[in-house]
Amino acid sequence: MTNVKRVRATQVRVRLAKQHIWIETHGGSRMGYITRYGNSDDPPDRRFGEGGQHIWEADQQTLRDLEAELDAIIR
């Protein structure tokens, strides 16, 4: 692996670690997110944004994207 790839992989690993920390501190699970941000079926004044389910999925997608990015670098 070249130095450039090593640096890039390290940067992505840091972002992955931060994303894991974010998820843990903002609910840790789909149910935790719903508890924190409300249910998507709740009225808008009783939930944050589109609700915990959607926020959970967005955060999980970010995690998957970062994992794919790291995988592409280290291949």
Indicate the pTM of the whole model: 0.91
Per-residue pLDDT reduced to its tens digit, 10-36:
999 999 999 999 999 999 999 999 999
Per-residue pLDDT reduced to its tens digit, 32-74:
999 999 999 999 999 999 999 999 999 999 999 999 999 999 9
Integer Cα distance of 42 and 59 in angstroms:
20
Residue 1 has pLDDT above 90, yes or no: no
Taking the mean position of all CA atoms in its chain, how far away is CA 48?
17
Q: Please provide the distance, in angstroms rounded to a whole number, between the alpha carbons at the two ends of the chain.
A: 9
